Chains A and B, each alone.
Chain A
Amino acid sequence: MSDRAALSSEAPRLSETLAGTRPTLVIAGAYAVVIVAAEAVAAFVAPVPAATIDAIVLTALLGHYVASGTRVYAALALVPLLRMTSIAVAAAQPLSFYFVGGIPVLLAAVLAADALDLPGVLRLDQIRLRSQWHVALGAVALGGFATPLLGLDPLIGDRSLPAVVGAAVIVFAFAGVLEELVFRGILQGASAPLLGAWSIPAANGLFAATYLGCGSAAYGAFMAAFGLACGWWVNRTRSLAGAAVAHGLLAAGLLVVWPVLL
């Protein structure tokens, strides 16, 4: 049987997947809608009301997780935590912001992987597998093609080699790998038992919502499509390593390296 045929036979119909888990899905879906609304408020209205909505949703999700034990509630809590962190630690310098804002979210993702029994999420050493490093290298070329089309401003003004390398490392970790840990690792991983393959678009919907405030519709759409591809690859290979490194290389290329080189 071909890989495609095997996948299509394994992928359950949505109605079959939903049977028996409908109440949980309705509640989790309602939380997701509120989180997306908070992202829209942060992007198009004002950040403080968004942080307030996120704080309420965060505490409700945690209470629900403790009461029910459903992992997807705890996984969903990472998105409001990410946004509250980014609003509260806002800094003028993008790189210092990434570092200061990224550390708490990275810590949350690592602790959540342990708490939610998703240890495979942290196996980034699997990048040595051919299926993983091939896709990661492809992201470098994708960044080179996409940079002139998206027309993004470089994140740093200093074009010296140490500045570019330092910025690329920070963006790789906190804009690329971190997002994959949160959205494909924790969110998609925790919702997969409920949604099956439908966890890919579900997690990616939240990922795309966090790009509502990126300031460029083309860039937001590009990242949403890239996130969907990453979700599919993670689901297909059962490893986050390739997608995480690919996302890191793409982000570092788009925001730091390619705008300097091209």
Chain B
Amino acid sequence: MSSLLTESTRALGLPGDADQARVTAGIVVIAALLVVLVLREAGRAELSGGRADRVEHLRFVALPLTLVFADVVIPRILALLT
């Protein structure tokens, strides 16, 4: 057990009742990724100076969320294709 792996996240990984919760959590992550990407693109267009630099720094959240997005979506696409 650690910060990353807790009892509740371990239970979510088990097949069965947790599927629905896992899908919903994945949708929440995708929504957060969309908001971050919109924030970045809007900031690039509207901001300048230090704020524009900080908008570029948001990749420290955008890239990891993209990886999580891929981890959530790719298995489902593969499941549909097979």
Where the two chains meet, the residues of A that have a C-beta atom closer than 8 Å to any C-beta of B are 42-43, 46-48, 51-52, 55, 58-59, 62-63, 65-67, 69, 74, 77, 81-82, 84-94, 97-98, 100-105, 107-108, 111-112, 114-116, 152, 171, 174-175, 178-179, 182-183, 207, 210-216, 219, 251, 255
Contact = CB atoms under 8 A, between A and B. Distances in A.
23 contacts: A47-B9, A55-B28, A58-B32, A58-B36, A59-B39, A65-B54, A66-B39, A84-B28, A84-B32, A87-B12, A90-B10, A97-B13, A98-B4, A103-B67, A104-B63, A105-B4, A108-B61, A111-B64, A116-B57, A175-B3, A211-B6, A212-B6, A255-B2
A59 B35 CA distance: 7
Interface of B: 1-10, 12-15, 18, 21-22, 24-26, 28-29, 31-32, 35-36, 39, 43, 47, 50-51, 54-55, 57-61, 63-65, 67-68, 71-72
Contact of A111 (B1, B7, B60): B60
Interface centre among B9, B31, B55 (most CB of A within 10 A): B9
Closest 3 pairs between A and B when the two form their complex, measured CB to CB: A213-B6, A90-B12, A111-B60
A74 B39 contact: no
Report whether over half of chain B's contact residues are helix, strand or loop; otherwise say mixed.
helix
A62 B64 contact: no
A115 B60 contact: yes
Interface centre among A91, A182, A210 (most CB of B within 10 A): A91
A152 B3 contact: no
